[in-house]
Amino acid sequence: MNFYPAPPVIKAEIYLRIPDDKRCLGQESEWRGGFAGSFQHIFLEGPVVDSAGSLYVVDIPYGRTLKIDSDKNITVACPTGRVYRLSPDGRLDTVLDNGPSPNGLVLSGDERFLYVAMTGANQVWRLPLHADGTTSKVGVFFQSFGKAGPDGLASLTPRTVSAGGIAEDDAGGYWDGFWMCIKEPFAHLFAAIHFFLIIAQSYKDFFPSIVATLGFSGTTTYLIQAPPPIIAFFVMMGISWSSGRRLEHGYHISVPTLLTLIGCAVMITTLNVGARYFCMILLVVGPFVGLNIQISWETTVVPRPSTKRAALIAYTNCVSSVSHWFTPYFFLRNQEPYYQTGGGVIIAGCGLVVIFVLITKWYVAKKNKALRATEDAAGEPEGWRFAG
């Protein structure tokens, strides 16, 4: 038994068709790919009628607002990329007209700055606001990565951020972060990589003694110790730039580490001064590069909650520090100038770094495959991915 009256039947009719000259024919939208790929040239939402009887609709993929007056004349009322300011007196001013798909606004606490989410650029812009409502010196406040830009924007007050010592992302306190870290498989993989990178770097406490085996005077020995870490620094800068640009970490760690492995193998088998010194440079480069990129990999793959991320960094550092307890005992003075045992430990450390990096990349691919399957099942566009 139905206690409610039957709903009325409303017959819908086509009001008008947007003509081709108002469609974005041949233009690629921000919605390329994904479930929205079937919407070609136009996709309308958000109808609003003003007091004069004009209808306004939003062309979502192309970021435009179209106006349809009572005579069915169609005009572009608002092109894409614009941010407006409505004054208390009712005046509407254009603050910005070149934003790549503005999609979310928030004011700073003192209302001196406007932050705008730019979906098309995967950025958040900061607009300094002047007393007259205009802006200047607009800049990028935040640059994200991946294929899906920010969708909306919100602001947290200082009280929300520091609510009784609870983390800003509602992830609990320090112990909550620690237990989340322990349950995270990535934490143990990164701990293993960090541990073996420190073993690969075990030469550092004996580097002056290793360089001294080249047979130079005391002053010369001290002088030639400087170039390897300096060279390693510039190599690290270049490789880190490449890693950040390509959003790839594993191979950027593995290749320099393999060079260290090869260099160490040569260094413990030859007395040629030039070859040994070149290998000493390689000895420094691999772990130096690997440790820097590995830290950024940790925080990219586990960006939040912040308490979990902080616990992960502390955990990997603690685990890796254990290697300092035993690696010094492998550099035996009676094995000068080769230090075969110490070199063998470095070679083993380098090899295990590469193995665990490849395991981690496999796990990243597995997690991304699961994300892709979930998106496909829900008909959603491609979103955030774990960095490999």
Q: Give the tens place of pLDDT for each residue, 192-209.
A: 999 999 999 888 888 888
Q: 351: pLDDT confidence band, cut at 50, 70 and 90?
A: very high
* Per-position DSSP letters for 327-357, written without gaps between them: GGGG--GGGTTT-HHHHHHHHHHHHHHHHHH
Determine the Cα–Cα distance for residues 156 and 162; give it in Å rounded to an integer: 10
Copy the structure tokens of residue 89. 């007196």
The phi and psi torsions of 58 (rounded to 5 degrees) equal -100, 130
Q: 85: pLDDT confidence band, cut at 50, 70 and 90?
A: confident
Helix (H) or strand (E) holding 297: helix 273-301
pLDDT at res. 147: 66
The phi and psi torsions of 200 (rounded to 5 degrees) equal -65, -20
Q: 218: pLDDT confidence band, cut at 50, 70 and 90?
A: confident
pLDDT at res. 254: 93
Does 339 share its domain with 228?
yes
Whole-prediction pTM: 0.57
Does 264 share its domain with 150?
no
The phi and psi torsions of 68 (rounded to 5 degrees) equal -120, 110
Poorest-confidence range of 24-28, 57-61, 330-334? Answer: 24-28
Q: 132: pLDDT confidence band, cut at 50, 70 and 90?
A: confident
**How confident is the model over 8-26, as a mean pLDDT?**
82
pLDDT at res. 278: 92
In a domain, 383, yes or no: no
E runs forming strands in 29-120: 44-49, 55-59, 64-68, 74-78, 83-86, 92-96, 102-107, 113-118
* Percentage of the chain modeled with pLDDT above 70: 91
In a domain, 292, yes or no: yes
**How confident is the model over 134-163, as a mean pLDDT?**
72
The phi and psi torsions of 128 (rounded to 5 degrees) equal -65, 130
Determine the Cα–Cα distance for residues 258 and 237; give it in Å rounded to an integer: 18
In a domain, 385, yes or no: no
Poorest-confidence range of 8-12, 57-61, 154-158? Answer: 154-158
Q: Is the separation of the CB atoms in 294 and 201 below 8 Å?
A: no
pLDDT at res. 30: 61
pLDDT at res. 35: 47
| pLDDT higher than threshold 90 for residue 258 | yes
Determine the Cα–Cα distance for residues 48 and 35; give it in Å rounded to an integer: 26
Does 208 share its domain with 284?
yes
* CB within 8 Å of 347: residues ≥ 6 apart: 261, 264, 265
**How confident is the model over 214-243, as a mean pLDDT?**
90
Q: 150: pLDDT confidence band, cut at 50, 70 and 90?
A: confident
Does 279 share its domain with 362?
yes
Among the candidates 117, 133, 160, a domain finishes at 160
pLDDT at res. 146: 67
Does 222 share its domain with 341?
yes
Determine the Cα–Cα distance for residues 14 and 230; give it in Å rounded to an integer: 71
**How confident is the model over 255-262, as a mean pLDDT?**
93
In a domain, 9, yes or no: no
* CB within 8 Å of 44: residues ≥ 6 apart: 18, 57, 58, 59, 60, 66
| pLDDT higher than threshold 90 for residue 257 | yes
Poorest-confidence range of 1-15, 189-203, 206-220? Answer: 1-15
Q: 165: pLDDT confidence band, cut at 50, 70 and 90?
A: very low
Number of structural domains the chain divides into: 3
* Percentage of the chain modeled with pLDDT above 90: 18
| pLDDT higher than threshold 60 for residue 168 | no
Q: Is the separation of the CB atoms in 118 and 102 below 8 Å?
A: yes
Determine the Cα–Cα distance for residues 190 and 297; give it in Å rounded to an integer: 9
Q: Which residue segment(s) compose the domain that 118 sits in?
A: 83-160
Among the candidates 119, 135, 160, a domain finishes at 160
Copy the structure tokens of residue 86. 């409505």
Residue predicted with more confidence, 286 or 33: 286
Does 348 share its domain with 269?
yes
| pLDDT higher than threshold 60 for residue 160 | no
Determine the Cα–Cα distance for residues 128 and 121; give it in Å rounded to an integer: 19
Q: 164: pLDDT confidence band, cut at 50, 70 and 90?
A: very low
Among the candidates 160, 190, 223, a domain finishes at 160
Could you give the angle at the alpha carbon of 59 between the alpha carbons of 54 and 63, nearest 5°? 115
Could you give the angle at the alpha carbon of 271 between the alpha carbons of 266 and 277, nearest 5°? 65
Does 45 share its domain with 87?
no
pLDDT at res. 158: 60
Does 253 share its domain with 360?
yes
Does 147 share its domain with 214?
no
Q: Mind listing the pLDDT tens digit for each residue in 281-323?
A: 999 999 989 989 988 898 888 877 778 888 888 899 899 889 8
Instruction: Name the nearest CA neighbour of 261 among 240, 279, 234, 288.
Output: 279
In a domain, 24, yes or no: yes
Q: 191: pLDDT confidence band, cut at 50, 70 and 90?
A: very high
For 306, what's the count of Cα atoms within 13 Å in the CB-facing half-sphere?
Answer: 8
Q: Mind listing the pLDDT tens digit for each residue in 335-345?
A: 888 888 888 89
Does 316 share its domain with 244?
yes
Determine the Cα–Cα distance for residues 378 and 388; give it in Å rounded to an integer: 24
In a domain, 10, yes or no: no
In a domain, 167, yes or no: no
Does 67 share its domain with 95?
no
| Sole residue written with tokens 């970490």 | 249
Helix axes 185-200, 306-321, angle to 10 degrees: 40
Does 56 share its domain with 72?
yes
In a domain, 91, yes or no: yes
Q: Mind listing the pLDDT tens digit for each residue in 353-366?
A: 999 999 999 999 99
Helix (H) or strand (E) holding 370: helix 340-378
